[in-house]
């Protein structure tokens, strides 16, 4: 288990298969794709802060990402 991490170090990512936001490490998102969320889901798009409206504020964030990187 990765433990609890600061949400400011993460951005909101979106998988190609669904609209569910996932947490992606900011350091990884700064590089070229492909990106992988903390839960292991491949992410096609990264945008906005994990603690913002496209991440935790979306109402449907990935439960595993949410438990690993709370807001």
10-44 pLDDT, tens digit per residue, is 999 998 888 899 999 999 999 998 899 999 999 99
Q: Is residue 58 part of a domain?
A: yes
Q: Is residue 34 part of a domain?
A: yes
In whole numbers, what is the pLDDT of the chain averaged over residues? 88
What SS3 class is residue 58? helix
pLDDT band at residue 7 under the 50/70/90 scheme: low
Q: Would the pLDDT of 6 be above 90? A: no
The pLDDT score that the predictor gives to residue 71 is: 72
The pLDDT score that the predictor gives to residue 2 is: 43
Q: Is residue 56 part of a domain?
A: yes
Q: Which two tokens stand for residue 31?
A: 């590089």
Q: Buried b vs exposed e over 2-41: b needs ≥16 C-beta within 10 Å?
A: eeeeebeebbbbbbeeeebbbbbbeebbeeeeebebbbeb
Cross-strand bridge partners of residue 25: 10
Q: Is residue 45 part of a domain?
A: yes
Q: Is residue 39 part of a domain?
A: yes
The pLDDT score that the predictor gives to residue 34 is: 87
């Amino acid at each position: 288990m990765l433990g609890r991490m600061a949400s400011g170090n993460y951005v909101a990512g979106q998988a190609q298969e669904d609209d569910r936001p996932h947490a992606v490490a900011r350091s990884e998102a700064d590089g070229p794709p492909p990106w992988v969320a903390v839960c292991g889901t491949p992410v096609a798009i990264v945008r906005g802060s994990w603690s913002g409206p496209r991440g935790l504020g979306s109402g449907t964030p990935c439960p595993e990402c949410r438990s690993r990187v709370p807001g």
